[in-house]
Structure formats: structure tokens, C-alpha cells
Structure 1
């Protein structure tokens, strides 16, 4: 293969420098960087020649014209592979990619430990009312500690919505470390598969009714968008906590605000938002029983390096004609294989 014959680009930044190091070690791969502000005369030829697009920026950090939709795909006729930064792939129109014969991959599992630890940290902080105690001490004198009485997590029930890589790790931590009962709602896994992940398979309504903690860990898709709204919050127990480290738009923020204001649930831990980061005046940030973070659950040194390495390995393997392990749209493989063969003169394995 000739020098720089395989073209890869990204916008703004990558998960970790290891990605660029691994690609630049290959003489047959060229890696181009664009900025959100790159003028069309700069980005248009890069899009036109690209074989792979590595998405490094989060949804709201990426200019809309660099989201992967039908228009971008028309401007990138040679594009074969779109790779998301983490497990989520919400800047990507998967159906449009499939129609265009473009393979979509993610880095699922690369940050599972970090996100699971964050979710567990939120649960413990909310249960022990640590964030409320911290805020009260900073505002008042003569605090009565009995007014800040918390609850133990040990032996309680957690309901996990989406028991993939992150959900599975949360289940392991909660059942093994804390002796919790684990319920899981995941329509894509059988009862036996979920049991092997230390959980009991239930339907969504049952999970919401029975759980002391509800953790959202599924990707944002057409099916999951708006899945948790006023009806679902009304099913939860008044002492229950809602935690999400998945994606904004899976839960309805206005419905959550209403549930908190009317004390239908005990509190919430929110790492993801409809707009990221949320503005300081966001209604949900005004509650003392809301623990908030700006989509940082997976932002650890270890997770970033892991995701960068996995992403580079997948892109290089795919460009070498191998089948990547984390494909979002496997149904595209026959069409993708034909396009790959036209581009590089060989069919992928």
C-alpha cells in the first residue's frame, strides 16, 4: 500500500494522544485534524478523500455540520468507517450510514470501569446525603446532623436500565461489594444472559416500582429517547434515587424537575444533560438533593487512554481488511465489503 493512501480525520481533539501515535506509526495512513471553525476550502477536500472519521468531541462540542448525517455522507463519498469516541454514538445517524454503506463502530467497554465507579459514587453520595451536608455546612452554622440522616445502600435494590458493559460492571460492584439485589431491564438480552451478569431480568415498569436506585446505562437510540418521563418517575418509590451516566434525552428533564419538586423521588445524580454542559441557572441545579457532573463519568486518565488505544486498533484493523469487534450496524457488512474492495482492491475478512 502506498504512503498515506488510507485517510483518517477527526475534529477538535481525540480521546488520548495514543490514537495519533498509533496511526502515525503507519506509513500507509494519513491522519488529518480539523477544527469546528475550519473553513470549507480546508475541510471539504479532507471529507471528500477520507476513508475513516474518528469522532473525538462530544455531541455539543462538535459543530453540527460535522455530525454524521446524510449531508456529510454525501460530501464524503469515499468514507467507509465512522468511529465514535466512547460507547455512545449520538452524533451519528446510523440509518443514514447504513444506507450509504458506511460501517459504524464504537469503543464500548473502554470506559466501563470509570463510568460504573462514577454511578456508584453518585449512589453512595446521595444515600449518605454527603452533598447536602457539604452545602449545608457551607451556608449555615449550628447544623443539626440529625436533619441530614442518610440511608445505607447495603442490601437494597438497584434497577439497571441497559446491562451492557457499564451496567454489567455496576451489577458486579453492587451485588458483590454491597450485597444489593440487582434488577435489569434490557430487551436485547435473555433472562439467562442477564442472570449471568448478576441480575434478574424484569420489565421496565416492575424495575421502577421495586428499585431503591434506578441507574440508566443504555445508549441513546430512537427506542430509548424519552424513555423516562413523568409516567416513569411516578412509578418510582418516594425514597428512591435516579442516577444517569448514559446520555441526555433518555430522561425528560422537565419531568424530573417536577418529580423532585413534588418529592415523588428522593434525589438524583446526573452526569448527562440535554445541553452539555448545562447552564448554572438550569432548574435541576437548584436542588440540594441533585448531584451533578458535566458528563465526566468516563473522563479518567485510564479510560481515555484505553478508549484511544481501542479506537486506533479498530480503525487500523478495519483499514487492513479485518472485521472490527464493536460494530453498531452489522447489517451493512455486505455493502461495506463491496465499497471497501473498490477502494483498496481486496475484500475484508
Structure 2
């Protein structure tokens, strides 16, 4: 039987890696020219799987894909996929939580160092031909400061040795609530926010975590504290963050993700000297992109072959009477 996979969009510049995986298995590829949900719904009619990066795989797209057995995410978060509807329809949803652990941890560390050393204003001003040591506030000494990690999963845990190497003390808040080597677990978000000099977010975006950091939480933080987010923009209330920074109630922010994304060209966060923004590329490197494309494509083939992929988001679907795939062993 010949299978067809719809690729809505992809993380790398080309689909050479995915194509090699699918060609070797005799699987046909349909590449969308538009990520408009109506266009995707039309293409989904006769495909057996959907592979997606940032495109919205809505209930309407899934409802229009009667043969679809699986939706594979090129990435970790699945907030662009209607997972609940996929589960109702018996569609297996996969993601790739292991492909960019070092990259995101390194990027988070870079944002921290850029903020602490006032890198951006100094670098921009020096490149413009100036030599002004008094341009920005005095840099921050990190040794002896407290680094708070909200979400001590793979990426959060990878940050621990990185920041302890700087001489920082690490606190973690995680659903498991256990100490990790090099860090001390706290019992509540409020406790972490009050104690930390730096707060770094490493959580998926869900209804429970949406605007986890809002006006109340920002008021709990030290006025000199730094806030880092390399997970999902919706974890932070952007309006509340903008106000806190504008009013001097927060020391700075390093953001690879924002809500909305991208920010408007004239948004105040783009111009604030205490803010470092990057365009949602913490996940990217020459190695991580190849890993991501290959693993996501292999997850699709696993479902076709009746094998259990290494990461299933909606594992409860495996015991559902609606499951479209063969039993996954």
C-alpha cells in the first residue's frame, strides 16, 4: 500500500532530509504551498499523515482528513495542533522533544549573558563607530545570584550545569518536586519568583500555563530581576511585561518567543534597552534541524508500520476504539 504525507510547512530551508526518509519507504509527499487552514483542509482529503511545523492543524483540517492516522510535529510544543480533536478521531499526535536540548539551553544562557553584560547596546554603539563605556547601566555580576528554572524538564535540567558554572545558585519548580543535582526544588511559583534574580521559563503552552507570568507575578519579582523565555510567548502577559519594564519594576527580559509572534514593528519591547529579542530560533543549529526532520518523518513511518513512536503526545488514543492506526507495539 502506498501512503501519502502532507507536509504543511517545514523547519529547514528544504525538505531533503524528510524526502530521503519517505522516498526510501516508498511514501509519497504532498507539500502545501499555503498554510491557510482552508487550503490545508483541501489537501488533507486523501493523505494518511500530516507533518507540520508552525502551521495550524485545526479541527476543520483533521475533520477533512478521513484517512489520516497521525500528525507529526516538527518540534516540541503542540499548541498549533488541535490535539483534543485528533484524539477524538483516533489520530496519533507525535512530537520531537529531544532534538534541540543543547541549542535551547545554550540560547537561554546567551540571553542571560547578553542581558547581564549589556551586550546589545554596547555592541550596536561600538559598531556604529563609538566607544562609550557609559552607554548602558553597569553590567551585572552573576556569581552568587539565584537562577530560577520554571519547568525542569530536559532543557531546564540542561541549564543547571551551565548556570552553576557561572557560580549561580539554582532553584527549580517542576511537577515532580524533587531536587536535581546542582539545584534545589521549591514548592510554589511565588516562592521561586520572590527568591530568584533570574527567572527562566521552560514549559509547554496550555490553558493552565497561558499568562503564567502576569502583573501579579511580575510584582513578586525583584525590581532588578531578569526574565527569560525560550519556550512559548503565551506564557507571559506581554502587556504586563511591557508595563513592568517601562516603569522600572523589572530589570530586563530576554525573549526568543513573544505573544503575539512576531511583535508589531513598532512595539515598545523592540526599543527597550533592557530587552534582548531573538526571532524564535533558539531551537536551530546545523545538527538540530537535521535531527528534527529525520525523527519526525520516522515517527510517521512508525505509525504506518504499527510501531510505537518514541514520543506520543496523546498516548490515551492508543486504547481508543477510534484509533485509526494498527495497534502500535
User: Shared fold (TM-score greater than 0.5)?
Assistant: yes
Give the corresponding residue for 1:328.
313
State how many pairs are aligned.
327
User: Comparing both structures, which one devotes a greater share of its residues to helix?
Assistant: 1
> Is 1:33 the equivalent of 2:22?
no
Structure 1 residues 106, 75: closer, same or farther in 2, change over 3 A? same
1:206-238 CA-partner distances (Å, limit 9, x unpaired): 111111111111111111111110011111111
Give the corresponding residue for 1:233.
218
Counterparts of 1:141 and 1:313 in 2: how far apart (Å)?
Answer: 52
314-323 or 110-119, larger mean C-alpha shift? 314-323
| Structure 2 residue ranges without an equivalent (≥5) | none
Structure 1 residues 83, 112: closer, same or farther in 2, change over 3 A? same
Counterparts of 2:98 and 2:43 in 1: how far apart (Å)?
Answer: 30
> Is 1:155 the equivalent of 2:144?
yes
Counterparts of 1:201 and 1:173 in 2: how far apart (Å)?
Answer: 20
Q: CA RMSD in A?
A: 2.3
Structure 1 residues 128, 18: closer, same or farther in 2, change over 3 A? same
> Is 1:222 the equivalent of 2:210?
no
Give the corresponding residue for 1:185.
173
> Is 1:115 the equivalent of 2:104?
yes
Structure 1 residues 307, 142: closer, same or farther in 2, change over 3 A? closer
Structure 1 residues 195, 252: closer, same or farther in 2, change over 3 A? same
Q: Is the 8 A contact 1:8 1:54 kept in 2?
A: yes
Q: Is the 8 A contact 2:118 2:136 kept in 1?
A: no
Q: Is the 8 A contact 1:278 1:294 kept in 2?
A: no
> Is 1:173 the equivalent of 2:172?
no
Structure 1 residues 338, 293: closer, same or farther in 2, change over 3 A? closer
| Structure 1 residue ranges without an equivalent (≥5) | 342-346
TM-score calculated relative to the size of structure 2? 0.91
Q: Is the 8 A contact 2:9 2:32 kept in 1?
A: yes
- 1:259 aligns with one of 215, 226, 244: 244
1:132-168 CA-partner distances (Å, limit 9, x unpaired): 3234446795634486421122232111111212111
Counterparts of 1:20 and 1:236 in 2: how far apart (Å)?
Answer: 48
Give the corresponding residue for 1:348.
328
- 1:77 aligns with one of 66, 90, 96: 66
Counterparts of 1:333 and 1:164 in 2: how far apart (Å)?
Answer: 24
Counterparts of 1:89 and 1:69 in 2: how far apart (Å)?
Answer: 11
> Is 1:211 the equivalent of 2:199?
no
